[in-house]
Structure 1
Amino acid sequence: MTKTEYLAELDRYLHRLPKADYEEAIEYFTEYFEEAGPEHEQEIMAELGSPREAASDLIVRLLDEGDELAYVSPKKQHNLVKIALIGLLAAPMAIPLLVTLLALVFTIVILAGAMIFTVAVIGFALFGSSVFMIVDGLSYVTSGLWTAFLGTGTGLLFLGVGILLLIASWEIAKMAGQTIISLSKWVLKRR
């Protein structure tokens, strides 16, 4: 089939359109062939499909989109169908993966919170027991100097470690909070 025969048959199918749409469609197809050149006419006809297919595609597009003339080749339509099918087939897998990812993030946040809480509780316990150890160590001054030094030194050690653990838990909590805020901003920016 030649370009002239193709356009003549296409013209016959497009006569159902309103006059403005008909003229615009014929002009579009004529220019499309002219831009491609005579050496690419067969490729264009293969891309568009039969004149009947090209006309019905165009009519459907005009009905869907109102007055706009938009033509999508059958090849592009086929690709759109493939993308839609991939999306539909991927949805059953994407939902469980999303739930798993959210559960993993939730678990990490809970574990981090539990670790911070544990370190803080140990810090408070050491801080509280250090007061008892210092008072107890000082009570042994009359019975033995070395025992008093050992009890008081252990109490001071507990006091230092307890304060360090409280400071560490506070700093870790601040870092975790800043990380969560940064990740939230990043996620909201990406949507």
Structure 2
Amino acid sequence: MNRIEYMTKLASLLQDIPEVERRDAMKYYNDYFDEAGEENEEQVIREFGAPEEVAENIKADLKGKTENTTHGQQEEYQSAGQQYQMNHQENKKSSEYQYGTSDDQKKKNARIGKIVLIVALAIIIGPVLIPIIGGILAAGLAMVLTIIVGVFALVIAGAAIAIVGILLVISGSVILLPQTAAGLALIGSGLIIMVLGVVATVGFGKLCEVVLRGLAKGMKYLWGKISHRKVVA
């Protein structure tokens, strides 16, 4: 079999493939024969193998290319579909973030309604409620000041009693030599009064400390409640 017979047989075996592919295949093998030269035609034919084998290989290659192309297109379609789905999800999230879901919108509307109601009640009840609240606050402040002043007064009274006792002791010491009995009586009573004054001063001082701490804790508690309500609102 020479070159012409080989190429004629191969062309007849490739009649069932597309014309473009058949033309390219024939050109490839013709060019191969041209490069090898006439003296090497038999060697080239042996390297190629039978025309039937070459035709089967060409058809198998074309089939593989077609499947790869189809698979590639499917992958492109899948990739495009996935990209569309991702963009759709991102747009949905962006829309939810911008406008909020229905539940969030309902909660927001409920909060706005409460604020409007509170403002309306404040405008209506304010002229009556403000003087009452002011009176209650003034009475509470007056009571607190009274307690503080009373406790301090007790402390001062205890200190005054202790000072009186000290003065009696001094007076008794002065008259102790000329009037021993009277001096001893003054010193004894002065010591008793001084001890009572010191005890009263210390006790009332502790009471004052307890009262001040209690008032401070109460004010801190009330301020915390007011601040918490403001933050929640």
After TM superposition, give the deviation of residue 85 of structure 1 in Å: 5.6
SS in 2 for 1:180: helix
Match of 1:140 in 2: 175
Shift in Å, 1:146: 2.8
The aligned amino acid for 2:178 is S
Aligned match for 1:119, one of 154, 162, 187? 154
Distance in 2 between residues matched to 1:170 and 1:83, nearest whole Å? 46
Structure 1 residue runs without a partner (length 5+): 1-65, 72-79
Partner deviation per Cα, 1:99-121 (whole Å, 9 max, x = no partner): 11221122112212221221222
User: What code does the residue aligned with 2:215 have?
Assistant: I
Paired letter, 2:192 = L
Cα 1:190–1:67 change in 2 (3 A) is: closer
Partner of residue 164, structure 1: 199
Kindly indicate whether residue 116 of structure 2 is the aligned counterpart of residue 100 of structure 1. Answer: no
Structure 2 CA distance for partners of 1:131 and 1:82, relative to 1, 3 Å: closer
Give the C-alpha shift of residue 139 in structure 1: 2.6
The structure carrying a bigger helix percent of its residues is: 2
The structure that has the greater radius of gyration is: 2
* Deviation readout 1:29-64 (Å, 9 max, x if unpaired): xxxxxxxxxxxxxxxxxxxxxxxxxxxxxxxxxxxx
In the alignment, the residues of structure 1 paired with residue 202 and residue 100 of structure 2 have an alpha-carbon distance, to the nearest angstrom, of 70
Aligned to 1:152: 187
Q: Which residue in the other structure is 1:34 paired with?
A: none
- Residue in 2 that maps onto 1:40: none
Matched-pair identity in %? 14
**Code of the aligned partner of 2:197:** G
SS of corresponding position for 2:211 = helix
Q: Name the TM-score, length of structure 2 as normaliser.
A: 0.43
Task: Give 1:133 shift.
Answer: 0.7
- Aligned residue for 1:166, secondary structure, equals helix
Amino acid at match of 2:155: A
Number of aligned pairs?
A: 119
Structure 1's 140 and 98: CA in aligned 2 closer, same or farther, altered over 3 A? Answer: same
Q: 1:107 to 1:150 in 2, by over 3 A?
A: same
Q: What residue is the counterpart of 1:190 in the other structure?
A: 225
Two-structure CA RMSD over aligned residues (Å): 3.0
Q: Once the two structures are superposed, what CA deviation does each residue of 1:147-189 show, in whole Å capped at 9, x if it has no partner?
A: 1222012211221121122112211221111111211222122
CA shift in 2, pair 1:158/1:82, >3 Å: same
Contact 2:158 2:197 in 1 (8 A): yes
SS in 1 for 2:176: coil
